[in-house]
Chains A and B, each alone.
Chain A
Amino acid sequence: MKLTTHLLTLASLAAVATTLTSCIAEEPLNMECDLLELYIHSDNPGDLFYDKNDTLWTAVDYENSVVNFKPTRISANIESYTTYIRVTEGATAYLNGATEPFQNGTVLDYSDENHNYIRVVSQDGKWERQYDIYMEHEKLTGPTLTFDFEEYAIPEKGKFYEWHVDDELSTLFPDCMWKNGNPGYKLSRSTAKPLDYPTAPAEGEGPDGSSCVKLETRDTGKFGLTAKMPIASGSLFNGKFNVSDAMTDALAATQFGAPYKYQPMMFSVWAKYEPGETFLDCQKNPVEGIIDEPDFYVVVYRNIDKDGNTVILDGNDVLSSPYIVGKARLPHNYNADGTDQMGNHPIHGVTSEWQKFTLPVEYTEELDPELLKNNGYSLIIGFASSWQGAYFNGAIGSKLWIDNIELLSK
């Protein structure tokens, strides 16, 4: 009897223990349905694109469902090309409403800006998204660029303002718009109002009473601090902002510049500046004796290296890359070794009153006219409310207003 009771008691305890260690359930199917890469095969990719690497399209913005190849050469004869895609593991792609899955190696017609649509369905079958795929010719522009920032809008479902540029600038301005760090700020401050973003319009505050752009270094709050990105400098540039990198590698997230066919000579902009009160280091600790400074610059760089690889400058080397051949930048103090010197005697000369700044673009080498014609040089036009903002150094509340940009080239 004693044994039976013991066994009964132990059995009940064992039952409890077994229930505790519940088994791991079967793996759920993937829910994602992204088109990650799209590659077209052309026998002469150099005849189609200025940079033959542009036959590969890679997703940088997972919310965007447009596969917009870089504009092709004006002379290119766009035809049909064998197309290969890579999608999320387990997902299935369908072309133009077909019921049979898309097979890699299918020939798609890209001529006359023909749009193809690929629908990607997730492995679990519950999610899908449709991609719009097309190719278009580069458009011709003149040698003078002007921007007055009078037009801006919040896109549908958007949370912050965007500044679009004319269609013919689609090469210099990917997605035909100015880029900034607002998409990154959105991750940390989802409740921010459109005008509370680091880059926002300022209606009626321009030098002529019209609208201008206000860049303001903002606090990214607890999320930003947790992600080791405690502040966000206001920014404005042409290029791409890779939101996917914003949380992990903020410097790499800003991809500066795009090809330009002219040699920039003179850059001018109207600007005024108010530094924020307390300069903060990247851990958000106040630093005595440093006054925040704004920055703006024009950079011209070679966008293909000697091995034929594409070169894109990002936050790490936008002003220091060996591929830079020309530069115009607001003056700053530098140490003897050439590194940036932060201090309390700024020499940039931007005050709280509107002034026009004219900076000549200085070159370290002659531009190769053949390379220039073939989009071998990229141009960056960049602005920041905190010149060390890429490294999360700066003062919250530093404000840079800019308006009426002009870039003269030859």
Chain B
Amino acid sequence: MKHIFISLLLAAASLSAMAADLENYQKWGTHSKNDAQLRINAGYAIGGTMPMPLPAELREIKMFKPYGGVNVGMEVSKMLGSGKKRWGMSTGAHFFWQGMQTCARVKGYYMGFDMDGEHIEGFYTGIDETNAHLMGFTVPFQAVWRASSRWTLQAGPYLQAYIKKEFINNIYNGYLRENVPTGNYIPFDEDGLHNIPFNDDMRRVTCGVTLTADWKITRNLSAYGTVDWGLNNVFHSDFNTITFNMYNVYANVGLAYSIF
């Protein structure tokens, strides 16, 4: 009963607020007569390529360091309807250069290494360092919703294509049990095995969902935050030397400017 009362109260409050806000929406809205908008953006990208959810084999993240962190692009959007015109859609292209270095302690993590056609795999316990570099373009397809006159939320799917993709592992201070936990014991000291590449096993194109929140500082300039959440494994489906599916999850924050 109490809940219903509160809901009704909120609904009533927002209805009255909406009417009063119409002017505001127009004031902070686009200049163009046809409700289209072209924006350019520049931001800082941070995030990583990670298994999700974090597997139990991952015991400790000892270090995380983002690389690069550039996201620049442009977007066109069109608002629909009448009145406040709160709904619209948007697409564009963002160039990104992003990456990360992580140093993790793992226990019994099943992995394999390929080099020159040679292959070792098994349960690894020890330090696993990952260096990931990604460069490419994101093409989002987003629904736009003006949450208020100055706040805008955008959400939708995206496609990501990579010009450069690098996923390199170093393993050290640990050991591998070959194939099974009762297999050959192969220890690695601080030199370990370095530069184990998984680049060729990565997909060229991935997809995911993107969510953006945008706040207008002035009518043309806004601050935004975006999360690009990968929905498919960054590695080809026939790649099984890393047994967990890994996803790209990157956020970027920056400024966007409306040209019209």
Contacts and interface: CB of A to CB of B under 8 A. Distances in A.
Interface of A: 1-2, 4-6, 8-9, 12-13, 16, 20, 22-28, 30-34, 62-63, 122, 127-129, 187-191, 221-223, 226-228, 243-249
Contacts of B186: 187, 243-244, 246-247
A16 B60 CA distance: 22
Contacts of A30: 108
A223 B120 contact: yes
Nearest to B155: A12
B213 A63 contact: no
Contact of B53 (A12, A22, A122): A22
A5 B151 contact: yes
Contacts of B193: 223, 226-227
A245 B186 CA distance: 8
Interface stretch (B74-82, B110-118, B199-207, B237-245): B110-118
Nearest to B149: A2
A379 B108 CA distance: 41
B180 A127 contact: yes
Contact of B54 (A8, A25, A33, A223): A25
Interface residues of B, number: 51
A167 to B, nearest CB: 27
Given A6-B148, A62-B177, A63-B184, 5 more contacts: A25-B56, A25-B58, A191-B118, A228-B191, A244-B186
10 contacts: A4-B14, A5-B151, A23-B54, A25-B55, A28-B56, A28-B108, A122-B181, A191-B117, A226-B193, A247-B186
Contacts, number: 123
B56 A27 contact: yes
B56 A26 contact: yes
B56 A20 contact: no
Given A33-B182, A122-B181, A2 B148 contact: yes
B59 A24 contact: yes
Contact of B147 (A5, A22, A222): A5
A1 B14 contact: yes
B60 A24 contact: yes
B185 A62 contact: yes
Contacts of B108: 28, 30-31
B195 A129 contact: no
Contacts of B14: 1, 4
B23 interface: no
